[in-house]
């Protein structure tokens, strides 16, 4: 019988499939469609210290083989996520969660991780370092090794859960950023976040998104994500959660062969709300087809 269990550090998941932050809300809507406990875990919508309305509309645009989003971290703030959203989700989901934390300063990362430190239902912190560092002229934390290190050190100073760092692909050398995160004490790496892109309305001759640019996700980015996961697997000795364009069980296997120990499924949830469930159910068949007995044993198998 196919063994779909995988490990992220000391945490064992029933399978590697995790809905990605920002594409699954706080899970309650999806719980009306199927039993969420079939999933490996759930990555919650990105959380900041204060409530955020997000960017002006329009903030979503279609693209060939994907989509652009410039939602802007809309969320009710860390205190409400901990006091309302997580308790509601725990009524329908019994496994540890992934808490995605964003921030615009080192202090904000530390604050959010401290606030969540005693929440036993959180298995790992997913540190989103694609946010602009307002104390450093607006440059994203994740585009330099120095910025990434500072964010990781701030999070680790207060976090009780393992800290996995979500890397932006919008850099020259993603391995140097991953190494900096490892040296700063990160417990794992998540990649990739979205690629920067834009669309232009031919009638108005202006950008479609009010924010001008947005993050490209969907099947179009899978080859980029695979290459970056492959490179980072060679560069660090940390577990990796791979994401970017995954929509099938075959994609999961491919991402794990590149070096991922688990995966997150993002934009596909917005096209087919059952996609994560379907991938989990399909995995044993795909494993059998490719003669895989234990899914955990294929991580990095393409190297």
> Which two three-digit tokens encode residue 254?
């491919």
> Which two three-digit tokens encode residue 98?
């992934």
Cis before 192? omega within 30? yes
Give all strands of the β-sheet with 214-217 in edge-to-edge order.
Answer: 60-63, 66-69, 214-217, 195-197
E strand residue ranges, 226-279: 240-243, 262-265
Residue 175 and residue 230 in contact, taking contact as beta carbons nearer than 8 Å:
no
Residue 285 and residue 4 in contact, taking contact as beta carbons nearer than 8 Å:
no
Q: Give the strand pairing for 11-13 and 6-8.
A: antiparallel
- DSSP SS3 for 35: coil
Query: DSSP letters of 134-180?
Result: GGGTT-BGGGSHHHHHHHHHHHHTT-SS-EEEE--S-SS-HHHHHHH
Q: What is d(CA 106, CA 260) in angstroms, rounded to the nearest whole number?
A: 28
Query: Tokens 């990095």 identify what position?
Result: 300
Helix (H) or strand (E) holding 127: strand 122-128
Query: DSSP letters of 267-292?
Result: THHHH-TTHHHHHHHHHHHHHHHTT-
* Catalytic positions, written as ranges: 131
Residues in a beta bridge with 81: none
């Amino acid at each position: 019988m196919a063994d779909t269990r995988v490990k992220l550090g000391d945490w064992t998941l029933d399978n590697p499939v995790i809905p990605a932050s920002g594409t699954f809300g706080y899970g309650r809507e999806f719980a009306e469609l199927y039993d969420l406990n079939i999933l490996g875990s759930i990555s919650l919508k990105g959380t900041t210290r204060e409530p955020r309305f997000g960017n002006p509309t329009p903030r979503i645009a279609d693209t060939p083989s994907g989509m652009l989003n410039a939602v802007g971290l809309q969320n009710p703030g860390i205190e409400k996520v901990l006091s309302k959203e997580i308790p509601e989700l725990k009524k329908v989901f019994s496994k540890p969660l992934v808490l995605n934390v964003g921030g615009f300063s080192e202090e904000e990362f530390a604050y959010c991780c401290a606030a969540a430190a005693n929440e036993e239902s959180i298995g790992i912190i997913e540190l989103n370092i694609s946010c602009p560092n307002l104390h450093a002229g607006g440059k994203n934390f994740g585009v330099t090794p120095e910025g990434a290190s500072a964010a990781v050190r701030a999070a680790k100073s207060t976090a009780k859960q393992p800290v996995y760092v979500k890397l932006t692909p919008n850099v020259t050398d993603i391995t140097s950023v991953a190494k900096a995160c490892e040296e700063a004490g990160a417990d794992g790496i998540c990649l990739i976040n979205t690629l920067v892109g834009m669309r232009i309305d031919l009638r108005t001759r202006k950008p479609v998104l009010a924010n001008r640019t947005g993050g490209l996700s969907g099947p179009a980015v899978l080859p980029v994500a695979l290459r970056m996961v492959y490179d980072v697997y060679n560069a660090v000795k940390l577990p990796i959660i791979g994401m970017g364009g995954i929509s099938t069980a075959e994609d999961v296997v491919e991402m794990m062969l590149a070096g991922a120990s688990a995966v997150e499924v993002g934009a596909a949830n917005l096209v087919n709300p059952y996609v994560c469930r379907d991938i989990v159910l399909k995995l044993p068949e795909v494993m059998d087809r490719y003669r895989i007995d234990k899914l955990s044993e294929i991580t990095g198998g393409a190297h």
